[in-house]
Structure 1
Amino acid sequence: MLSSHIRLVRLVPTTVRLVHSLIHNPSCSFMDLKALISSLNDFASLSFAESWDNVGLLVEPSPPHTVNTLFLTNDLTEEVMEEALQKKADFILSYHPPIFRPMKRITWKTWKERLVIRALENRIAIYSPHTAYDAAPQGVNNWLAKGLGVCTSRPIHFSKAPNYPTEGTHRVEFNIDHTQEDLDEVISMLKAISDVSVTSFSARTDDEEQTRISLNCSQQALMHVVAFLSQNRQLYQKTEILSLEKPLLLHTGMGRLCTLDESVRWFWEQCSARSRGRPLPHR
């Protein structure tokens, strides 16, 4: 059975529930590191994390690496590492990343370097979710918002989806009013460019039937597409180049803006009554 040692679990309850679902899987007596990382990333994509953050797998023992004991902590200190070693942990999930700034050397000089050394010597993987779990729909921010009582909450800054809605980062569209032979040649040459997908459809411009070419491409492929169009200006007209955006995720993002169902005064009266052990006021 995949075991775990849990520290400070009240700070990351959703992570604990995820780990418990892995622990109590009767078909799983151990888990490959890659499979475990995949499950953690499925719970909250690392793309949700802030750009300044350092999240994901921070220390990886040489493969293959099997996880039998998973250790949870809010902050990985040397004392916590010692406890993880005593528990024979194979994997440490530290909410805050123990490695944040780049390391130019790994020596015994600083405590963070010593953490890396001890992890590698004892074949312990270290993973940090941090702001990815803050932003997740059932993550830390949502959990904190529930402490306000019944309320409606939404992210202050919405996260973007990990992937673009279509292939590529850009869309290029233009019209062709030449022969079918010219059309076939243009489509064939565009399809020969890597990372380009091409579609065509009929369009009417100034009461004239034309063919509209629409293609999606990567940033790198866009340069080749533009170069091709520049060399064949006689074949097309009315070109548009659009930069595609990753869609915003409705319930995912940093911070929470909460609208209380009850007034703030009522909320604080309840908090005050609870702290003093008095009966709760009624509305």
Structure 2
Amino acid sequence: MDLKLLCKRLNEYAHTGIACDWDNVGLLTEPSEPLIVKKMLLTNDLTEPVLEEALKKEVNMIVSYHPAIFRPLKRLTQADWKERSIVKCIEQRIAVYSPHTSWDSIDGGINDWILEAFETKKIESVESISSLNHPSGFSKNVKINLPSDTNKDILLKKLNVNDNIRLVSEKNLGQEVEVEFLTSPKGVTSLMESIRSVYQSQDNIFDSLRIINMEKPFMKNVGLGRLGYLAQPLKIRDVVDKLKDLFKMKTFRLALANGKTLDSEVKVLAVGAGSASKLLNNVNADLIITGEFAHHEILHETHRGVSLIVTDHSNTERGYRECFKRKFTDLLKKYNENVEILISEVDRDPLEYI
């Protein structure tokens, strides 16, 4: 499958435009010549052991959830493991792609996958994300009062052929008509030029002009973090058991809120895969599920009655690879496209419990 087309499908699955501003997502390394991808390797982190695995399995592309290039690189040498990895990918014509926070935010992404372990009656984003585009395709609302004469009709006829401007309404004000338009930023300039050309002799024609920036609506079920409202209350010990099954972990850390026990009831779960100290701080929930949470923030949460499950960073993320493989394969089938998707067998969280 052509690399550019595959990247297009990956972006269709999770648009990079919804990733956090600080993130570095999308295609990170691209061979100089066109690349046909036959095998794709999924990993949470592109470590040197994962890269060796990729070379042995002769993959053409690595989809690494965490960006292999995050902080700017000033050089590419053999002195640093990240630099060595990028150099080898380039030498071996292996494309590297990272979705990171776009997978966190999409409907059906990592946080939703975690909540699939529970029966919920409602799920909300902790931080919603605005639509990438305005639903109408226009970002400006323009209103202006024009004299009720033939010039108005000349103007509207002239604007009727401009795709960047749409007439919304005309409101009769007696000797004037309030005319409302939807436009693109480019359309505002065209609109003003057209008004100026029709009303050349009226210096005050723009006195009543009002331009309003239209806010983009929030996307449904898209955003950072999730609040899961349980259909029936669960005991904390039941939540623990379900997450051990989901994450395939025998142990993880639990911080019980002051006065709570393993038999205390949970009605609302707050989920933030990876690191969520800032995202879930002061969230309105009974139990927080995350990979990392700062010490003092844990104390703060437990003192306000919120318990926490902390699994270590990537243990909340790694299991999503299977979910992505299934969903992305279905997406490709819609287009009669196919690529072999492998899941790394050596990718793991660097921390272990002994």
What TM-score, normalized by structure 2, do the two folds share? 0.59
Aligned twin of 2:147: 177
| 1:217 equivalent among 160, 168, 184 | 184
Within a 5 Å distance, the mapping from 1:1-150 to structure 2 comes to 31-150=1-120
What is the one-letter code of the residue matched to 2:170? S
Q: Contact 1:176–1:237 (CA<8 Å) still a contact in 2?
A: no
Query: C-alpha displacement at 1:90, in angstroms?
Result: 0.5
1:123-176: per-residue Cα shift (whole Å, max 9, x none)? 111011111011111110101122344452211111222211223432222121
The match for 1:256 is 226
CA distance in 1 between counterparts of 2:34 and 2:240 reads 54
1:174-201 deviation digits (Å, cap 9, x = unpaired): 1211532355258748988xx8424264
Q: CA deviation at 1:237?
A: 5.1
Aligned to 1:154, the other structure's residue is in SS state: strand
1:267 aligns with 2:267: no
Code of the residue aligned with 1:216 in structure 2: it is T
Deviates most, 183-192 or 88-97: 183-192
Q: Distance in 2 between matches of 1:102 and 1:138?
A: 31
Residue of structure 1 in register with 2:270 after alignment = none
Q: Write the distance in 1 (CA, Å) between the matches of 2:92 and 2:164.
A: 47
Choose 120-129 or 101-110, whichever is displaced more. Answer: 101-110
- SS of 1:181's partner is helix
Are 1:167 and 1:197, in contact at CA under 8 Å, matched by a contact in 2?
no
Q: Residue 143 of structure 1: SS of its match in structure 2?
A: helix
1:156 aligns with 2:126: yes
User: Does the 8 Å CA contact 2:166/2:183 hold for their aligned counterparts?
Assistant: yes
Q: In the alignment, is residue 240 of structure 1 matched against residue 210 of structure 2? A: yes
Q: Aligned AA for 2:47?
A: T
Distance in 1 (alpha carbons) for counterparts of 2:117 and 2:148: 66
Maintained 8 Å contact 2:155/2:195: no
Residues 10-55 of structure 1, C-alpha deviations (whole Å, 9 max, x = no match):
xxxxxxxxxxxxxxxxxxxxx1111111111111111221111111
Local SS of the residue matching 2:72:
coil
Q: Deviation string for 1:92-117 (max 9, x for gaps)?
A: 00011111111222222322222221
Deviation at 1:74, TM superposition (A): 0.7
Q: What is the CA RMSD across the aligned residues, in angstroms?
A: 3.1
SS in 2 for 1:92: strand
Q: Which runs of 5+ in 2 are unaligned?
A: 245-262, 264-354
**SS of equivalent residue, structure 2 residue 204:** helix
- Aligned counterparts of 2:80 and 2:192: Cα–Cα separation in 1: 52
Q: 2:167 aligns with which of 186, 192, 199?
A: 199
TM-score by length of 1: 0.73
Q: Which amino acid aligns with 1:217?
A: S
> What's the % identity of the aligned pairs?
33
In structure 2, relative to structure 1, the CA distance for the partners of 1:32 and 1:130 (3 Å cut) is same
Q: Taking structure 1 as reference, are residues 272 and 246 closer, same or farther at Cα in structure 2, changes over 3 Å only?
A: closer
Contact 2:29 2:96 in 1 (8 A): yes
Q: Matched residue pairs, number?
A: 240
C-alpha distance in 1 between matches for 2:48 and 2:31: 19
Q: How far off its partner does 1:68 sit?
A: 0.6
Judge conservation of contact 1:182–1:235 (CA < 8 Å) in 2. no
Amino acid at match of 1:197: I
